[in-house]
Amino acid sequence: MSLPYTGGCQCGQIRYEILAQPLTLYLCHCKECQKQSSSAFGMSLTVLRDAVVIVQGKPKAWTRKNDRGREVNNLFCGDCGTRLFHERTYKPNTINVKAGTLDDTSWLHPVGNI
């Protein structure tokens, strides 16, 4: 796969590009990720914060605390509700992209399950 990777929400109002190779991809089976994805697990593609550019639209955000009590900003499309990104305020240099929102998911190979 060649850069940039492109993706967006389900309704197409928000579009983003990833400009650098992701750092890792993992599947998380915690209760929060099950709720968020309404599925068995959530996919997190960790990317350098500066390498993710929103090229169309403006995500909405809400903040929750994770199981260690640290803040996570959850960014989503205000029109269709698709979850796009998780910003961990305690790790400001990276952002977790919800990998199912990529246009091409065929190349995704998770390194592990947590």
Here's the x/- map for Zn ion, 12-41, by CB under 5 A: it reads as -x--------------x-x--x--------
- Among 61, 60, 72, 1, CA closest to 30: 72
Dihedral-angle region of residue 12 (phi above 0 means left; psi in -120 to 50 means alpha; beta otherwise): left
Using CB under 5 A, which of 24, 80, 89, 105 touches Zn ion? 80
Tell me how far, at minimum, the Cβ of 51 lies from Zn ion, in Å. Answer: 22
Which one-letter amino acid corresponds to residue 57? G
Positions that interact with Zn ion (CB under 5 A) = 9, 11, 13, 28, 30, 33, 77, 79-80
